[in-house]
Amino acid sequence: MQYTVRRLDEEEISHIYKTYMKKDFPPAELKPLGHIIRSMERGYGFSLGVYEGEQLVGYAVFIVAAGCALLDYFAVVKASRGKGVGHEALPLFGAYLQETLPEVHGIYIEAERIAKARNEEERVIRSRRIAFYESCGCVLTNLESRLFGVEYSILYLKLKDEAVAPSLEAMDAIYRIMFKKAHYSRFVKLGLAGTID
């Protein structure tokens, strides 16, 4: 199947947020729509739609800072799951970034920490999510974060051969642009694996 990606405007991402994102992500992980719109207005955030012809089959929200992008949200719409859309979408995102934002050398991805799963079902889901990203060429870094009580492992997808290694400094720059100073100091923790427990 042939998939394409294109940048979404505020009206399109607002529709996707209300129609899909509220169902696809737990409330604890979903930022208010106003935060996503504000990031677009201020130029450090953008959203992409994944299409099969004119049909939306997936979507992603990115934050860009310090020569890196954070894949803040990514989901395949329910009707299109199990068809390989996710594996097709990641390279398309990389190609889009290299074409439109050549200064971006890699994509960071947060995935809920396996060790913090509350039960076996959750552990399996988290393990599969990380395995999916690894199968797309992402590597699990030694960085972890806690955002508003939710614990994440951080993966990295290198977009250029000369890309710098993933770093605390780059992730910190992304978080500082994403969150208000008061929220950052209270609700954001970033560190090497095993240091933020």
25-34, 65-74, 75-84, 125-134: segment of lowest average pLDDT: 25-34
Confirm if 143 and 166 have CB atoms less than 8 A apart: yes
Q: Bridge-partner residues for 59, per DSSP?
A: 49, 75
Q: Residue type at 92?
A: L
Reported pTM: 0.93
User: For residues 158 and 136, what is the distance between their CA atoms, to the nearest angstrom?
Assistant: 11
User: pLDDT tens digits, residue range 106-157?
Assistant: 999 999 999 999 999 999 999 999 999 999 999 999 999 999 888 999 999 9
The alpha-helical segments, DSSP class H, found in 42-167 are 85-100, 120-135
The alpha-helical segments, DSSP class H, found in the chain are 10-16, 22-24, 33-41, 85-100, 120-135, 168-178, 181-187
Whether residue 1 is predicted with pLDDT greater than 70 in this model: the reply is no
